[in-house]
Structure 1
């Protein structure tokens, strides 16, 4: 069985700098991200991040996660353990295209563990809408910042 994953890839007409600036400004997430707000913490290996996740149709919840991988202007990945059999890995990736000022950006969630797979199956449509909304909002914020 494939690992349960929800991902949205989107073209953004902005530089990697502008796209990364939107992601790395954690306090600014309230201005553009419709799902993940009140973000606090540090983008650093092992850094802790906290945020409020509001997925339509589900109760808002507080998330406490650890940064497991990051590379400026390329990616941010954090992991959240939600119990014995449930782990969620959240990621943002930026890929520079050949044409300057053009990138492909991806954001998604990978679920693992029995309960993670069950959560994915039960909420697949809600998760899809959330990841899509984040991608569109990230694109709009980065393109506006690029000018």
Structure 2
């Protein structure tokens, strides 16, 4: 059994700009309301320490994760274990190139395992709201960077 939560948004900036924002962990605190801090390296199997703030003003929780997959300019996935390992949560961030000046940004979480039914509807609602905030924040950041670069003479 599996359950998923996702948010998708269009971004008026190239996929390369989105990847620049996503892959620069040091700046996540400047723009990311859901994961204000992330530490680790982009290497499959590498541990990550990820701060999670679901309710905008709630306390941050540090989650230990492992990079499951990443493809430059396309995706970053990490996994965590829940409910004593009976549920695996795969957190994903994906970029789809839609043309030279726009892309689609998706972020969400997929839950799999024998106790996935215990991931409550309320938690999924809170996650969806958080991932919507993150999607809007990454869109604003990428579009601001792209806009500034368009104004800068070469």
Scaled by the length of structure 1, the TM-score of the pair is 0.91
- Residue 16 (structure 1) aligned with residue 12 (structure 2): no
Q: Give the whole-Å Cα distance in 1 for the aligned partners of 2:23 and 2:44.
A: 14
Matched, 1:45 2:40: no
Which residue in 2 is equivalent to 1:94?
95
Q: Deviations over 1:60-106 (max 9, x none)?
A: 32111111111000000001112221211001111111x31111111
Q: 1:122: Cα distance to partner?
A: 3.6
Larger Rg, first or second structure (1 or 2):
2
The answer to whether the Cα contact below 8 Å between 1:111 and 1:117 also exists between their aligned partners in 2 is: no
Q: Distance in 2 between matches of 1:13 and 1:73?
A: 16
Unaligned stretches of 5+ in structure 2? 148-154
- With over 3 angstroms needed to count, the CA separation of the structure-2 counterparts of 1:106 and 1:68, relative to structure 1, is same
CA RMSD of aligned residues (A): 1.7
Partners of 1:117 and 1:102 in 2: how far apart? 37
**How big is each residue's C-alpha offset from its partner over 1:26-73, in whole Å with a ceiling of 9 and x where there is no partner?**
011111110112210001111211111111186532111111111000
User: Is the Cα–Cα contact under 8 Å of residues 53 and 60 in structure 1 kept in the other structure?
Assistant: yes
The 1:25/1:79 distance shift into structure 2, 3 A limit, reads: same
User: How does the TM-score come out when normalised to structure 2?
Assistant: 0.87
Task: Identify unmatched segments of 5+ residues in structure 1.
Answer: none
Q: Which runs of 4+ in 1 moved over 4 A?
A: none
Per mean C-alpha deviation after superposition, the further-off stretch among 29-38 and 48-57 is 48-57
Q: Does 1:136 align with 2:136?
A: yes
Q: Secondary structure at the match of 1:95?
A: strand
Alignment of 1:1-147 (within 5 A): 3-56=2-55, 60-82=60-82, 83-97=84-98, 99-147=99-147
